[in-house]
Structure 1
Amino acid sequence: MKIALIGYGKMGQAIEAIAVSQGHEVIIKIDINSQHLLAKEHLGQADVAIEFTTPETAYDNILKCFEADVPVVCGTTGWLEKLPDIKSRCLAENKAFLYASNFSVGVNIFFEINKRLAALMASQPQYDVWMEEIHHTQKKDAPSGTAITLAEQVLEKLDRKSGWVNQESNQQQELPIISKREDPAPGTHIVTYTSAIDDITITHTAHSRQGFAAGAVIAAAWLKDKKGIFTMKDVLAL
C-alpha cells in the first residue's frame, strides 16, 4: 500500500514507523514546509492518504484528497463543524472518507462500553455523571475529540443531560468535561457516575501513541479501494 502522510508531526512519524514495519510504503510526507505536495499530481500516486494536521487545515486537505480521488483517513479533531459538508461532498463525488476521533482499537472498544453503561444509567437518576481527559501540553484542542465522542454518546442515552461543558459545573443538566494538559500524557479518558452511595468509573489510559498510529494504518488498509463514508466501527466490525 502506498501512503500519503499529510501531517508529519509526532503522530505522523509514529504512523510512518508502523506502516513501514508492516511492508507499506510512505511515498509522500507533507508538513508545513512541503505543502506543494498536496497537489493532485502528487497525491494521486498514493493508494490512500492519512491526515493528522490541525483544525485550521484539515478541511482543505480532505478536499484536496477528494480532488485527487485518493481515499482519506482523517484523525484531526477540532474542525467538525465542517464535517457535514465533507460527508455530503464525499457521497456526491463518490469518494472515500473515514473519520475517527481516536483510532486506537482499545478506545473504540471503550466507546462501546461507554454507550452500554450510559444506556444502563438512563433509568438510574440518582447517579450524576462527569468526565475527565488528560493529554500532553502540545494537544491543540480541549476537550479532546475522544472526550467529545464519549460525551455525545452519554448525552444520547441520558435525557437528564442537555449538553456538555468544558469546565466544572453545578448545573444538573450539564455534563462537565475537565481537561488537563500535563507531560508526558499520551491520553487518559475517565467517565464517572457518582451517587451518594457509590461511584462507577470507566477509564482508558494510553501508554504511548503506538495504539493510535497502529489503528490509523489498519484503517487505511481497510479503506483502500472502497467508496463511501466510514468510521472505526466499520473497520473493527463493532
Structure 2
Amino acid sequence: MKIALIGYGKMGQAIEAIAQGRGHEIVHRIDINSPQLLEKENLSQADVAIEFTTPETAYHNILKCFDANVPVICGTTGWLDKLPEVKAQCLEKHQAFLYASNFSIGVNIFFELNRRLAELMGTQPQYNVHMEEIHHTQKKDAPSGTAITLAEQIVDALPGKKAWVNQHTTNPEELYIESRRVDPAPGTHIINYHSPIDDITIIHTAHSREGFAAGAVTAAEWLKGKKGIFTMKDVLSL
C-alpha cells in the first residue's frame, strides 16, 4: 500500500516505522516545508493518507485528500468544530474519511469500558465523577482529544451531568477534566467515581507512541478501497 504522511513530526515518524515494517511504501512525507506535495497530482499517487498535523491545518488537508480522491485517516485533535463540514464534503464527493481522537487499540477498548461504566453509574447518584489526563509538555491542546471523547461519553450517560469543563468547578452538573502537562508522559487518562464509602477508578496509560502509530496503520489498511465515514469502532468491530 502506498501511504502519504501528512505531518512528519514524532507521530508521523512513528507511523512510518510501523508502516514500512509491514511492507507499505511511504510515497510522500509532507510537512510545512513541502506544501506542494498536497497538490492533486502529487497526493493522488497515494492509496491512503494519514494526517497528523495541527488544528489550524487539518481541515484544509482533509479537503485536499478528498479532491485528490485519496482516503484519509485523521488523528489531529482541536479542530472538530469543522467536523460536520468535513463529513458533508466526504459524502458529497463520495470519499472515505476516518477520524479518531486516539488510534490506540487499547484506548478504544478503554472507550468501551468507560461508556459501559458510565451507564452503570447513571443509577448511582451517590458517586461523583472526576477525570484527569496527563500528557507531555509539547502537546498543543488541552484537554486532549481522548479526554474529550471520554468526557462526552460520561456526560451522555450520567443524568446529572450537562457539560464538561477544563477548570475546577463546584457545579454538580459539570464534569471537571483536570489537564496536566509533564515530561515524559505519552498519555494517561484516569476516570474516578468517588463516594463517601468507596472509589471506582479505571486508568489507561500509554507507554510509547507505538500503540497510536500501529492503530493508525491498521486503520489505513482497513480503509483502503472503502467509501464513507468511519471510526475505530468500525475498524475493531466494537
Scaled by the length of structure 2, the TM-score of the pair is 0.99
Task: Report the equivalent of 2:31.
Answer: 31
Number of the residue aligned with 1:184: 184
Q: 1:59 aligns to what?
A: 59
Q: Match for 1:157: what amino acid? A: A
What value does the CA root-mean-square deviation take over the aligned residues?
0.4
- Using the TM superposition, give the Cα deviation of residue 168 of structure 1 relative to its aligned residue in structure 2, in angstroms: 1.7
Partner of 2:83: 83
Give structure 1 regions of 4+ aligned residues with deviation exceeding 2 angstroms. none
How many pairs does the alignment contain? 238
Q: 1:218 aligns to what SS in structure 2? A: helix
Identity over aligned pairs, percent: 74
Q: Where does residue 116 of structure 2 map in the other structure? A: 116
The equivalent of 1:19 in structure 2 is: 19
Which stretches in structure 2 are left out of the alignment for 5+ residues? none
Answering whether residue 159 of structure 2 is matched by residue 159 of structure 1, we say: yes
**CA–CA distance in structure 1, aligned partners of residues 144 and 159 of structure 2:** 23
Q: Distance in 1 between matches of 2:168 and 2:129?
A: 12
Deviation at residue 92 of structure 1 after TM alignment = 1.1
Where 1:126 maps in the other structure, the secondary structure is coil
Q: What secondary structure, in the 3-state scheme, does the structure 1 residue paired with 2:103 have? A: coil
Shift of 1:84: 0.4
Give the corresponding residue for 1:3: 3
Deviations 1:146-204 (A, max 9, x none): 00000000011011001000022111111000000011000000000011111100000
The TM-score with structure 1 as length reference comes to 0.99
Gaps of 5+ in 1: none
In 2, the alpha carbon distance for the partners of 1:192 and 1:36 equals 47
Q: Distance in 2 between matches of 1:41 and 1:130?
A: 49
Aligned to 2:220: 220
Cα distance, 1:140 vs structure 2: 0.5
